[in-house]
Chain A
Amino acid sequence: MPVTKLRDVCHARSGDKGATVNIGLICYEPEDYEWIREHVTADLVLKHLGPGVKGPAVRYELPKIGALNFVVHEALDGGVTCALMIDGHGKGFSTILLELEIRGEAPPSRNLPARGSS
């Protein structure tokens, strides 16, 4: 069964609002949007972020720019002004999400010969 690492089909940016982190996940190719919408759920993202993150996680959709926005509460140890964690601004959460691997059908762009030599 094929495995797709999100990093291969998406880019991402994360940031903080108090103790909440948000992670925007954006498709390189717009045709992959339905695929991430189907596979990358709020529950899956919360689980992937591990036990240091309490949640809940909420997912919002931005189909016009091919993106999902995950808002994850209780993620930043109280927020940057008082957090003991090293990434109180939450900027590293984008890289953590991009390591997520999805098992199952590959996204449409991975089936096109145009995308790189791999």
Chain B
Amino acid sequence: MTKKQTLRLGAGSAHEGDDLDAARAVAERGKLDYIVFDCSSEKAISMAFMRKQAGLPAYDIQLEPKLRAVLPGCVRNGTKIIANAGALDPEGAARLAVDVCRDLGIKGLKVAYVLGGDVSDVVRQQDPIVRETGKPVSALGNDVMGALAYGGFEAIVDALRSGADIVLTPRAGDSEQFLAPMIHEFGWKFDDWDRIGSGLGIGHLLECGAQITGGYFAEPGLKDVPDLHRLGFPIGEVEPDGSAIITKLPGTGGVVNEQSCKEQLVYEIGDPAAYIHAPGVVDFTTTSVRQAGPDRVRIAGTTGHPRTSTARVALAVRQGFIGMGRVLYGGTGAYRKALLAADMVGRQLRERYGAKDSDLRFDYIGYNALFDWGGDPDVLKEIELRVTGRFLTKDEAQKVRVLVSQLPVNGPAGAAWGRPLDQGGVEEVVTFYSTLLPHKDIKYSVHQFVA
């Protein structure tokens, strides 16, 4: 295999519900070798567990619109697709991809999927300690719905070596999804820790999509961003030594500068000298960030350390239901009326349904939804009261909304309760605890369909 000189990696989504138009644009015009989708936020995985239980597809349900958006451009440009969209059913996700190809008249694409991320059985057998509770998994009893491991970069590399055009994993870490094509194209060794660290570092910068091209960044007057309404997704031009230029699709909105790159570098990290991923440990304290041209920033010098012996596993755990209700008060004394309503609903929830103070929350939000009050905008004339509470049963949780809905008639004077305040009401809660399993006990395997 001839080794690449510069690899062009694009981000297709920062989360399962990201901007399809931006993804389509970068797939069509980004001259990409690979486009990588992060589809596995905690919220998405939580929903996958609930859908599996309900007998519904347990992969990213928004995979289809993503594929429809980018496949025509990817096929035209020879761009390969990597996505951690499989969750609890990577095979189902791959069948969907085949169907979409057929529907678009695309023939001959190799769709690889990775199995082995669902480690529910391994966790049941080994009963490891839960990091948050300090007790074994079994102590959580029947509330544990299952366990999904982060990882699988070796499987992505294997799939690419066997010629896959689309690779769908259960839940490969967001950064390792970018690392895998670097390993494949540059022939990096799995234990070349500085390169592994560099590649994961570039992945970390790209995996949140527009968060490095001007999203989650604009502060009027301090950090202005042009054309936020049509932000371009980022592109990494990666060199064989692990350095890279971060840029974005030309002709789009947004900005790539040292500030935007530094902000994304520190995003969701712990110890910057030991940022742990399944393939290795990133050391960002050696990284340099330098402007190299308009919307071009050079990232170099990132180092790495050997991988830890264990992989992180997310345990999905049932935690009852959250009930919520919202109502709005205006005019002088709005805050006092909201406080009075909160006191009223709080007493009702405690006395009638046994709610504990630690499971209830009252928030006060507002500006001008009811009326343009004029005057000093910093002096509040409106307060939206937002009540939330945790309950064991759905019926109890529904009472929050019911009691708030009674406020306009039974509560303090002048309550507004139209859309969207009257919407929603109850959410089932599946939360995550984490545990560790030895890498050797997580067995990934690669399978393939041809569209």
List residues 399-415 of chain B with CB under 8 A from any CB of chain A: none
Residues of A within 8 A of B363 (CB): 85-86
Residues of B within 8 A of A65 (CB): 262, 265, 287-289
Complex CA gap A45/B212 in Å reads 25
Evaluate contact between B289 and A79: CB separation under 8 angstroms: no
Complex CA gap A82/B321 in Å reads 9
Residues of A within 8 A of B265 (CB): 24, 62, 65, 67
Complex CA gap A2/B2 in Å reads 61
Q: Does A13 interact with chain B (Cβ within 8 Å)?
A: yes
Q: Does B34 interact with chain A (Cβ within 8 Å)?
A: no
In chain B, what residue has the closest Cβ to A12? Answer: B263
Residues of A within 8 A of B284 (CB): 62
Evaluate contact between A22 and B390: CB separation under 8 angstroms: no
Evaluate contact between A85 and B269: CB separation under 8 angstroms: no
CB < 8 Å neighbour of B43 from A17, A66, A77, A81? A81
Q: Per-position contact with A for B256-276: 1 when CB-CB < 8 Å, else 0?
A: 000100111111111111000
Q: Does B138 interact with chain A (Cβ within 8 Å)?
A: no
Evaluate contact between B287 and A64: CB separation under 8 angstroms: yes
Q: Does A11 interact with chain B (Cβ within 8 Å)?
A: yes
**CB-CB under 8 A for A67 and B266, given A13-B216, A84-B388:** yes
Complex CA gap A8/B107 in Å reads 56
Q: Does B322 interact with chain A (Cβ within 8 Å)?
A: yes
List residues 54-106 of chain B with CB under 8 A from any CB of chain A: none
CB < 8 Å neighbour of A26 from B46, B263, B270, B285? B263
In chain B, what residue has the closest Cβ to A78? Answer: B431
Complex CA gap A84/B361 in Å reads 6
Complex CA gap A28/B301 in Å reads 21
Evaluate contact between A17 and B270: CB separation under 8 angstroms: yes
Complex CA gap A112/B124 in Å reads 62
**CB-CB under 8 A for A82 and B390, given A15-B268, A18-B434, A24-B266:** yes
Complex CA gap A17/B267 in Å reads 10
Min distance, Cβ A80 to any Cβ of chain B, angstroms: 6
Residues of A within 8 A of B132 (CB): 18
Min distance, Cβ B18 to any Cβ of chain A, angstroms: 15
In chain B, what residue has the closest Cβ to A23? Answer: B266
Evaluate contact between A64 and B288: CB separation under 8 angstroms: yes
Range, interface on chain B: 35 or more
Q: Does B386 interact with chain A (Cβ within 8 Å)?
A: yes
Q: Does A69 interact with chain B (Cβ within 8 Å)?
A: yes
Residues of A within 8 A of B386 (CB): 86
**CB-CB under 8 A for A84 and B322, given A13-B216, A62-B284:** yes
**CB-CB under 8 A for A13 and B264, given A81-B431, A84-B390:** yes
Complex CA gap A58/B233 in Å reads 33
Min distance, Cβ A37 to any Cβ of chain B, angstroms: 14
Residues of A within 8 A of B43 (CB): 80-81
Complex CA gap A82/B392 in Å reads 13
Min distance, Cβ B92 to any Cβ of chain A, angstroms: 23
Q: Does A35 interact with chain B (Cβ within 8 Å)?
A: no
Q: Per-position contact with B for A4-20: 1 when CB-CB < 8 Å, else 0?
A: 00010001110111101
18 contacts between A and B (CB under 8 A): A13-B264, A16-B268, A17-B268, A22-B268, A62-B272, A62-B284, A65-B262, A65-B289, A69-B266, A69-B269, A69-B272, A77-B361, A78-B431, A80-B43, A81-B43, A82-B319, A84-B359, A85-B363
**A residues within 8 Å of B by Cβ?**
7, 11-13, 15-18, 20, 22, 24, 26, 28, 60-67, 69, 71, 77-82, 84-86, 91
**B residues within 8 Å of A by Cβ?**
42-43, 46, 132, 216, 219, 222-223, 259, 262-273, 284-289, 301, 319, 322, 359-361, 363, 365, 386, 388-390, 429-432, 434
Closest 10 CB pairs of A and B: A24-B266, A15-B268, A84-B361, A13-B263, A84-B388, A81-B431, A82-B431, A82-B429, A26-B262, A15-B267
Other than the known A11-B223, A26-B262, A81-B46, what 12 A-B pairs have Cβ atoms closer than 8 Å?
A15-B267, A17-B270, A18-B132, A22-B269, A24-B267, A26-B263, A28-B259, A62-B284, A77-B361, A78-B431, A81-B43, A81-B432
